């Protein structure tokens, strides 16, 4: 069979050009959405009288069969057929002859590929959202497992203030929640149908774009054919959303890589998710976390690739856009692989409570709480800061903790200090002192854990 666009050409295409321009090697995975889009299109064509009902039915039936064959791996890829759209259409024509030749009425591959991409992004977006909920669920479940455990919190990777383990876990839940909200927002724009925008200008045929949009579960047809046939904003947004998920995963991965070192000794990673060394018999390497961190680079690069791809493209469709799928699929595959492994790593790791507790009084995690104690007794904040700073210096010179300083010495540094200062000194007391909304205070964190359990519909046990 000749090319679908062969009419105005005299000679054949150079095989090197066919190899250069094909996309079947990477767009074959659009087969399922392509067929769904075509069935909806054919249904609409019959409703407006551009196909008979019998024609539309035989097209739909044949497309379903073709879909099953493709799913069973029975379709041979031919670079002379360029892309998945031509593969499906030529299989249809091989089955139905002239009836198959009518399917492409009132559309072009330009709106077809945009429609396919939106359908594909929509289902992937929903799958990624569910995977994010799984990761959140794993963190929320940990809150119970690690109830009461206090960890050092860091700024500049220097010990800063004490934090409940659950506060750490819920911090990641918040980040992934924003990722989910971003996906939901992106979905609104994915929900606008390109189908029937045709090549760029729409059609002189009486197609019903509202109807094909509705049949495919879109919210509305796009109002400007010139815009939507070339629009890849939704795809770039989606990959950006994925890149921010990658950033969050890489922060988590890096933190846990550090925490599982001998130097930190906070965390033991689950055996099934660590690997050994080919030369050093003692090694347990956090490869899953390292690759989660490393693969984030790919997703971030994919966003840049897409932005650079569309930069300066004139309206409307340009063949450059075929390359969008390379970056899109890479970003999807990378993020899905990371998200599929993350919940098991989160759930399977164990905090080394003794090691953590043994060093918890190092680093003056209670210093800020002591300063706030002074503020509550009328000391101006800056003066309190200075006073506690001097006390820390004194402790360092003696190799002791703030809680070790005799009351008289504390009082000579600051007369407002009373015997009840002991209630804010030491890491546990410092934790107990927190009360602001969103803080690491015990009541605050317990409330948040409850809220997350509800939000994620995790049952009590």
User: Whose CA is closest to 186, among 243, 261, 237?
Assistant: 237
Residue 23 interacts with ligand ARG (CB under 6 A): yes or no: yes
- As measured in angstroms, the least distance from the Cβ of 89 to ligand ARG is 12
Residue 36 interacts with ligand ARG (CB under 6 A): yes or no: no
Catalytic residue among 41, 58, 77, 156: 156
Residue 217 falls in which region: left (phi positive, over 0), alpha (psi -120 to 50) or beta: left
Residue 317 interacts with ligand ARG (CB under 6 A): yes or no: yes
Residue 305 interacts with ligand ARG (CB under 6 A): yes or no: no
For ligand ARG, the binding residue among 322, 369, 427, 439 (CB under 6 A) is 322
**163 vs 195, which CB is nearer to ligand ARG?**
195
- As measured in angstroms, the least distance from the Cβ of 325 to ligand ARG is 6
Q: Look up 87 and say whether it is catalytic.
A: no
Could you tell me which stretch among 37-45, 48-56, 300-308, 316-324 binds ligand ARG (CB under 6 A)? 316-324
- As measured in angstroms, the least distance from the Cβ of 108 to ligand ARG is 7
Residues 6+ apart with CB under 8 A from 263: none
Q: CA-CA distances (angstroms) from residue 159 to 286, 317, 353, 363, 385?
A: 24, 54, 17, 6, 17
Max Cα–Cα distance, the chain, nearest Å = 101
Q: CA-CA distances (angstroms) from residue 304 to 247, 252, 359, 456?
A: 15, 23, 43, 33
Q: How crowded is the C-beta side of 7, counted as CA atoms within 13 Å?
A: 2
**Can you tell me the distance from the alpha carbon of 52 to that of 46, in angstroms, rounded to the nearest whole number?**
5
**315 vs 358, which CB is nearer to ligand ARG?**
315
Footprint (CB under 6 A) of ligand ARG, residues 158-217: none
Could you tell me which stretch among 33-41, 261-269, 319-327, 343-351 binds ligand ARG (CB under 6 A)? 319-327
Classify each residue of 270-290 as buried b or exposed e, where b means 16 or more C-beta atoms within 10 Å of its C-beta: eeebbeeeeeeeeeeebebbe
- As measured in angstroms, the least distance from the Cβ of 59 to ligand ARG is 20
Size of interface with ligand ARG, in residues (CB under 6 A): 11
Report the DSSP beta bridge partners of residue 161.
Answer: 153
Could you tell me which stretch among 107-115, 176-184, 349-357, 431-439 binds ligand ARG (CB under 6 A)? 107-115
Q: Look up 210 and say whether it is catalytic.
A: no
How many other C-beta atoms are found inside a 10 Å radius of the C-beta of residue 114?
27
Catalytic residue among 25, 77, 277, 304: 277
Residues contributing to the site for ligand ARG (CB under 6 A): 23, 27, 83, 85, 109-110, 113, 317, 319, 321-322
Catalytic residues: 156, 277
């Amino acid at each position: 069979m000749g090319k679908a666009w062969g009419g105005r050409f005299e000679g054949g295409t150079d095989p090197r050009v066919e190899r250069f321009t094909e996309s079947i090697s990477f767009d074959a995975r659009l087969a399922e959405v392509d067929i769904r889009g075509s069935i909806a299109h054919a249904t609409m064509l019959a409703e407006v009288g551009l196909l008979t009902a019998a024609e539309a039915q035989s097209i739909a039936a044949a497309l379903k069969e073709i879909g099953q064959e493709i799913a069973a791996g029975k379709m041979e890829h031919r670079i002379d057929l360029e892309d998945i759209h031509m593969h499906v259409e030529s299989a249809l024509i091989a089955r139905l002859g002239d009836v198959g030749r009518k399917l492409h009425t009132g559309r072009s591959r330009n709106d077809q590929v945009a429609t396919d991409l939106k359908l594909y992004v929509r289902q992937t977006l929903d799958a990624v959202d569910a995977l994010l909920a799984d990761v959140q669920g794993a963190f929320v479940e940990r809150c119970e497992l690690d109830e009461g455990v206090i960890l050092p919190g860091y700024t500049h990777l220097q010990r800063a203030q004490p934090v409940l383990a659950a506060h750490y876990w819920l911090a990641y839940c918040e980040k992934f929640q924003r990722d989910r909200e971003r996906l939901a927002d992106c979905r609104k724009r994915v929900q606008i149908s390109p189908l029937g925008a045709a090549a760029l200008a729409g059609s002189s045929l009486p197609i019903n774009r509202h109807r094909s949009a509705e049949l495919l579960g879109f919210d509305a047809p796009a109002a400007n054919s010139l815009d939507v046939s070339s629009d890849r904003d939704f795809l770039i947004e989606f990959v950006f959303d994925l890149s921010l998920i990658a950033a969050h995963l890489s922060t988590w991965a890096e933190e846990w890589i550090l925490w599982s070192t001998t130097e930190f000794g906070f965390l033991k990673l689950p055996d099934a998710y660590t690997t050994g060394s080919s030369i050093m018999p003692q090694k347990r390497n956090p490869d899953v976390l390292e690759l989660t961190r490393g693969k984030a680079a790919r997703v971030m690069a994919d966003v840049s690739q897409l932005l650079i791809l569309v930069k300066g493209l004139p309206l409307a469709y340009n063949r450059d856009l075929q390359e969008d799928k390379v970056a899109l699929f890479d970003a999807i595959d990378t993020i899905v692989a990371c998200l599929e492994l993350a919940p098991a790593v989160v759930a399977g790791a164990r905090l080394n409570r003794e090691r953590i507790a043994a060093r918890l009084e190092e680093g003056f995690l209670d210093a800020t709480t002591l300063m706030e104690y002074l503020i509550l007794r009328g000391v101006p904040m800056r003066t309190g800061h200075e006073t506690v700073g001097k006390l820390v210096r004194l402790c360092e010179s003696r190799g002791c903790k703030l809680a070790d300083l005799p009351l008289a010495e504390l009082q000579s540094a600051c007369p407002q200090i009373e015997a009840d200062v002991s209630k804010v000194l030491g890491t546990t007391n410092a934790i107990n002192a927190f009360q602001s909304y969103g803080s690491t205070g015990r009541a605050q964190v317990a409330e948040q854990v409850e809220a997350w359990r509800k939000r994620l519909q995790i049952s009590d046990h």
